[in-house]
């Protein structure tokens, strides 16, 4: 026996298999980046790995399964990026926190439009993947950081017009029923503010990622984005930059 195995620990075969799975996903993502499309051919992935196409079917039942796995990974990656981005700034400065989250979201989308489209775009051929799959849950998970900022703003007694506005009664019920992802109780107004801020941020990022702002220089887009986040911050009641 080459190595003692702890009970429940992955055996050697499982480990190399998992490594291959990872390599397949990584290779597919690289190809997506290069070709700027989510339409990746199995044969290309295999060739890039020194394999033939049918070999990949040992690891993924079909294209859909590979795409689904990549979507899950993309969410994890986005969540990780947001975590790092939020951790890199002064925790007490809400404006900086908000800006860091927004910039991370934006940069992540810009660095990997293919991965971004994988998550938020209409899936490539037939969209079996987005049917109440892992995306809905993961999206909420990736938004936990926005939630933190909004809750912190409330804790400090800050409240912009977005937090002061009425919340529709029926909506409030459904928002409360959704326990968020941290288990904390979130006031409906805060929850609503979070969703709307997210939508606002997301819209800018989408338009930019898909080239609708390509008539502006990068510097101008940066400035525009800053204004956008500032507007959102004002609506939340978070004071702007010094």
Partner DNA sequence: AACTGTAGTTATTAGGCATAACGATTGCCG
Partner DNA sequence: CGGCAATCGTTATGCCTAATAACTACAGTT
Q: Which residues here bind a copy of itself, judged by CB under 8 A?
A: 35-39, 113-114, 117, 120-122, 124-127, 130, 132, 135-136, 139, 161-162, 165, 167-168, 170-171, 174-175, 178, 192, 195-196, 198-207, 210-217, 219-220, 223-224, 226-228, 230-231, 234-235
Q: Return the structure tokens found at 241.
A: 């930059």
Q: From a copy of itself, DNA, none, which one binds at residue 71 (CB under 5 to 8 Å depending on kind)?
A: none
User: Residue 31: how many CB atoms within 10 A of its CB?
Assistant: 18
How far apart are CB 62 and a copy of itself at their closest, in Å?
16
- By CB under 7 A, residue 4 contacts DNA: no
Of 17, 202, 228, 230, which one interacts with DNA (CB under 7 A)? 17
Q: How far apart are CA 134 and CA 118, in angstroms?
A: 13
50 scored as a contact of DNA (CB under 7 A): yes
**Is 46 one of the binding residues for DNA (CB under 7 A)?**
yes
Residue 126 engages DNA in binding (rule: CB under 7 A):
no
Distances in whole angstroms, Cα of residue 208 to Cα of each of 56, 60, 218, 233: 35, 33, 10, 20
Among 9, 22, 35, 54, binds DNA (CB under 7 A): 54
Residue in the structure block whose two tokens are 């007694």 = 157
Alpha-carbon distance of 40 to 60, in angstroms, equals 14
Token readout for 94 is 């809400």
Q: Is 26 in the site for DNA (CB under 7 A)?
A: no
CB of 146 to DNA, least distance (A): 36
Binding-site partner at residue 55 among a copy of itself, DNA, none, CB < 5 to 8 Å by type = DNA
DSSP one-letter code for 227: H
> Cα 125–78–214 angle (5° rounding)?
70
2 binds DNA (CB under 7 A): yes
Number of other CB atoms surrounding residue 107 within 10 Å: 13
Is residue 64 close enough to count as binding DNA by CB under 7 A?
A: yes
Q: Strand, helix or coil at 19?
A: helix
Q: Give Cβ neighbours of residue 66 (< 8 Å, ≥ 6 apart).
A: 24, 25, 28, 56, 60
Binds 43, which of DNA, a copy of itself, none (CB < 5 to 8 A, cut-off by type)? DNA
Cα(134)–Cα(68) distance, integer angstroms = 9
96 binds, among DNA, a copy of itself, none (CB under 5 to 8 A by kind): none
Binds DNA (CB under 7 A): choice among 9, 12, 88, 212: 12
Binding site for DNA (CB under 7 A): 1-2, 11-13, 16-17, 20, 40-44, 46, 50-55, 57-59, 61-64
């Amino acid at each position: 026996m080459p190595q003692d195995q702890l009970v429940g620990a992955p055996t050697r075969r499982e480990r190399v298999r998992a490594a291959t799975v990872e390599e397949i996903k990584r290779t597919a993502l690289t190809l997506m980046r290069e070709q700027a499309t989510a339409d990746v051919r199995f044969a290309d992935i295999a060739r890039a790995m020194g394999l033939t196409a049918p070999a990949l079917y040992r690891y993924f039942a079909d294209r859909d399964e590979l795409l689904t796995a990549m979507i899950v990974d993309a969410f994890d990656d986005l969540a990780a990026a947001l975590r790092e981005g939020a951790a890199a700034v002064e925790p007490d400065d809400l404006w900086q926190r908000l800006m860091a989250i927004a910039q991370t979201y934006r940069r992540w989308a810009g660095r990997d439009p293919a991965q971004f489209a994988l998550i938020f775009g209409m899936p490539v051929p037939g969209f079996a993947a987005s049917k109440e799959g892992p995306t809905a849950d993961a999206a909420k998970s990736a938004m936990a950081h926005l939630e933190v900022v909004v809750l912190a703003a409330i804790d400090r007694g800050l409240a912009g017009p977005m937090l002061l506005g009425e919340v529709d009664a029926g909506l409030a019920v459904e928002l409360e029923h959704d326990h968020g992802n941290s288990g904390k109780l979130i006031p409906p107004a805060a929850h609503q503010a979070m969703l709307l801020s997210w939508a606002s941020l997301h819209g800018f990022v989408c338009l930019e990622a898909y080239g609708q702002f390509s008539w502006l220089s990068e510097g101008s887009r940066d400035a525009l984005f800053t204004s956008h986040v500032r507007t959102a911050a004002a609506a939340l009641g978070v004071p702007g930059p010094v």
